[in-house]
Amino acid sequence: MNAKSTQWLAAIIFTIVGAIFLIVGPIIFANEMSFKNKGIESIAIITDIETYHSTDDTYYKVYVQYIANDRTYNNTLDYWDSTMSVGKEVKIYYNPDNPNEIVANNSSYLLLLLPLIGGVSFILGTSMIIVNIKRKRRKSKLLENGDYINAEIEEVIYNTSYSVNRISPHVIVCKWENPADGNTYVFKSENIWYDPEPIIEEKNIITLPVYINRDNLKKYFVSLENIEE
């Protein structure tokens, strides 16, 4: 899958995940609050905390012991935070009909983060989709109605401010002197997901075609058809 496809896929995933969190988060929170209202409050003691490491994150499993209906139960919590330690007391609620079903007191407040995370993810995903669509439309409009010029290649830069799968793209910077006003304008290509310099040197490419809107030179498109792999 190429980088452009990856960008579209990432935008769609962010949007879908965000929508799910926005819908599911409040439902889970409401269910847990209902459980607490019907449950019985108790104090549990943390007996052990297991740590699991993965490539990108660290996970924790918190074991607790508590008394319910005059019996001692051992169970695991449904969340972890950095203040927890072995021997510390935590407030829980258990189902009187099935004391093995418990929720921690503070876990409900953490669930409130789900809609927030969902909202941020949804806005980010939809914004990425809108930007991609606008960029595609602007490109098509310039190719169809824009004025064609040749701009001199100034340099190839590595765009470290952006990355996909930890890979940053290259950008070609071009300049063009407008004979109408004598001013020099700088144009930048779209992100290029390969190093174009060897092709530029091999083909001795000095200029690139640029499609511009003469009424607004901030609207342009640098064509890369001459250096595409």
Contact 118, 18 (CB under 8 A): yes
Sheet of 170-177: strand order equals: 184-188, 170-177, 147-158, 207-212, 220-222
Indicate the helix (H) or strand (E) that contains 152.
strand 147-158
The closest of 67, 112, 63 to 88, measured between CA atoms, is: 63
Sheet of 40-53: strand order equals: 71-76, 58-68, 40-53, 89-95, 98-104
Contact 119, 44 (CB under 8 A): no
What pLDDT does residue 87 have?
Answer: 94
The closest of 131, 134, 143, 129 to 220, measured between CA atoms, is: 143
Q: How would you write the pLDDT of the chain (229 residues) with one tens digit per residue?
A: 455 666 677 788 888 988 888 888 788 778 878 888 889 999 999 999 999 887 777 888 999 999 998 899 999 987 888 888 999 999 999 999 999 999 887 765 666 677 778 888 888 889 888 888 888 888 888 888 889 999 999 999 998 887 766 788 899 999 999 988 889 999 999 888 889 999 999 999 999 999 999 888 889 999 988 887 5
Q: What is the DSSP code (8-state) at residue 167?
A: B
pLDDT tens track for 140-166: 888 888 899 999 999 999 988 877 667
d(CA 158, CA 173): 11
- Residue 176 pairs in a beta bridge with 185
